[in-house]
């Protein structure tokens, strides 16, 4: 859950989000080094004596050709690794289908018989004390902690996007198409997200709440859910 005046990412709650956070910090340090070098060179140009002896500057030409290529490689290799990790889904413990509507989400637990429900935003007038306005829902998505969850995302009407930042998940919901993603919540907790694709007048009012619980708690919840 993001805090007021927060400038950084939310606390990572999945291995993929930890990788994304580390790559962000890595890319930021590379950008900082480039900016520092450019600032240093500008300072030298502005304060030093002007010369035009660049006719036989093969060494500097070699440096400014190889250095940018090396920087791009240091950014591309970790990025490609994370992309492959995000696409890899190995034997999911549970499959969840998320269907976007205007303006609510429907969920189907395909490994269970008739375990489906709709998830609407809780109105401010009905919000329990201590819950978050515009982020709480009447039915949360309950998943077991430390288990790989496959999410199949689609839409019933217009484009939507199923996104939970702290889990490192953001997948477009497209009518007539099934998109697939996965996550593993490495701790119990409640994780908030929102539709991240402008989908109409009430786009801001279709939040996502994922609650990660121990396996025994999940089994009890699934057995008590009405068909």
* The pLDDT value given to residue 1: 64
Say if CB 98 and CB 105 are below 8 A apart: yes
Domain limits, CATH 2.60.40.420, in the chain: 94-224
Tell me how crowded residue 62 is: count the other CB atoms within 10 A of its CB. Answer: 10
State pTM to two decimals.
0.83
* The pLDDT value given to residue 137: 94
Report residue 218 as tokens: 């999940």
pLDDT tens by residue, 180-209:
999 999 999 999 999 999 988 989 899 999
pLDDT under 50: residue ranges of the chain: none
Give the C-alpha separation, 38 to 43, whole Å: 9
Q: What is the CATH number of domain 94-224?
A: 2.60.40.420
Report residue 128 as tokens: 């329990």
Domain limits, CATH 1.10.287.90, in the chain: 15-87
Q: What is the CATH number of domain 15-87?
A: 1.10.287.90
């Amino acid at each position: 859950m993001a805090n007021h005046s927060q400038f950084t990412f939310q606390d990572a709650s999945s291995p993929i989000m930890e990788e994304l956070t580390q790559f962000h910090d890595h890319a930021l340090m590379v950008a900082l080094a480039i900016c520092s070098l450019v600032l240093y060179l500008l300072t030298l140009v502005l304060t030093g004596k002007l010369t035009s002896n660049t006719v036989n500057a093969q060494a500097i030409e070699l440096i400014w050709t190889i250095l940018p290529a090396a920087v791009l490689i240091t950014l591309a290799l970790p990025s490609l690794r994370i992309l492959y990790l995000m696409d890899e889904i190995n034997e999911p413990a549970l499959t969840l289908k998320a269907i976007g509507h205007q303006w609510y989400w429907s969920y189907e637990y395909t490994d269970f018989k008739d375990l489906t429900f709709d998830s609407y935003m809780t109105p401010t007038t009905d919000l329990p004390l201590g819950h978050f306005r515009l982020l709480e829902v009447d039915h949360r998505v309950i998943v077991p902690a430390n288990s790989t969850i496959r999410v199949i995302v689609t839409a019933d009407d217009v484009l939507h996007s199923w996104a939970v930042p702290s889990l490192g998940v953001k997948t477009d919901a497209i009518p007539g198409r099934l998109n697939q993603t996965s996550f593993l919540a490495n701790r119990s907790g409640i994780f908030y997200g929102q539709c991240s694709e402008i989908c109409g007048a009430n786009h801001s009012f279709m939040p996502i709440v994922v609650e990660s619980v121990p396996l025994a708690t999940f089994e009890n919840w699934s057995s008590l859910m009405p068909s």
